[in-house]
Amino acid sequence: MSETTSELGPLRPYQVMATIVGLNLLVVMAGFLGKLLTDDTSWWNREDVQNTFMVIDQVHGLLFMILLVLIAMLATKHRWTPAFTLTTILLACVPFVSFWAERRATRTVLTAAQG
What is the reported pLDDT for 4?
A: 60
The pLDDT confidence band at residue 8, using thresholds 50, 70 and 90, is confident
The pLDDT confidence band at residue 43, using thresholds 50, 70 and 90, is confident
pLDDT tens for 78-104 read 999 999 999 999 999 999 999 999 999
Residues 76, 68: contact at Cβ < 8 Å? Answer: no
Quote the mean pLDDT of the chain. Answer: 90
What is the reported pLDDT for 24?
A: 94
9/84 Cα distance (integer angstroms): 17
What is the reported pLDDT for 1?
A: 47
Percentage of the chain lying above the pLDDT 90 cut: 70
Range in 4-13, 30-39, 77-86, 89-98 with the lowest mean pLDDT:
4-13
Instruction: Please write down the HEC assignment for all residues of 2-41.
Output: CCCHHHHCCHHHHHHHHHHHHHHHHHHHHHHHHHHHCCCC
Please give the backbone phi and psi of residue 9, each rounded to the nearest 5 degrees, phi first: 65, -140
